[in-house]
Amino acid sequence: MKRIDALKAIYPELEHCIVVTIMGAVAAELQSLGHRTNFFYLQHAMGLASSVGLGIALSRPKLPVVVLDGDGSLLMNLGGLTTLARYEPRNLLHVVFDNESLLSVGGFPTATSTGSDLAAIARGAGVPRTATVTTLEEFTQEFQAAQQARELTTLVAKVEATGPAGYVTDLALLENRYQFARHLKSLAEE
C-alpha cells in the first residue's frame, strides 16, 4: 500500500474531521490532495502530533479528531501512547503510517523494520482499539470502523517507503496555524 493512496481513500472523510499530521511526506502528500483549513501540519517537534491531537480532543470532545502519525515520529513519543490511553478520548483516531523508515532524511530504517510492533505497543499502553493493516481495502474498512466505534483507536497502516519529490509547500507554517485555529473557533460559534 502506498501512503498517498491511503490518504486518497480517506480524504473525503477528513473533510468532516479536525486533522493533525506530522511533518515530511504525510504533510506534503495530504496537501497535494488539497489543503483544507481543518488540517494542521505539525512541521517539526517530532512525536508531538498525537499530543496536539489529544489537547484538541480533550478540549473539544464533540469534534472528531484524526491524527496522521508516522513510525519515526511515534517512536519519539511512545510515552504519549500511555497518556492517550489514560484519558481515552472517544473522539480521537490515531493513524500511524508505518513505512519502517525515516524516509525524509534518507530512508534510514526504524525499529519497526526489525520487529517493533506499534499496534502491540499501543495495545500494551492501554489503547482500547488497535489494528495493523497492510492493504488499502483493510485500511479503508478499519478507518471507517474506527470512526463509527467512537472509541480511541490506534490504526497502524503498513505502507511503502516512498514519498513525494519534495517536502516544502507554499503554505506558510503560521498561515496554516492561524487558519486552523480560526477554523476551530468558527465551529465553536456554530
Q: Which residues bind another protein (CB under 8 A)?
A: 20, 40, 42-60, 77, 79-80, 82-83, 86-87, 173-174, 177, 180-181, 184-185, 188
CB of 54 to another protein, least distance (A): 6
d(CA 167, CA 164): 7
CB of 59 to another protein, least distance (A): 4
Closer to another protein by CB, 77 or 154: give it: 77
CA 26 → CA 22, 83, 86, 117, 186, distances in Å?
6, 23, 27, 20, 26
CB of 149 to another protein, least distance (A): 22
Nearest to 5 by CA among 160, 119, 132, 151: 160
CB of 183 to another protein, least distance (A): 9
Closer to another protein by CB, 109 or 126: give it: 126
d(CA 190, CA 188): 6
Closer to another protein by CB, 47 or 158: give it: 47
Closer to another protein by CB, 168 or 188: give it: 188
Is 21 in a helix, a strand, or coil? strand
CB of 42 to another protein, least distance (A): 7
Closer to another protein by CB, 168 or 174: give it: 174
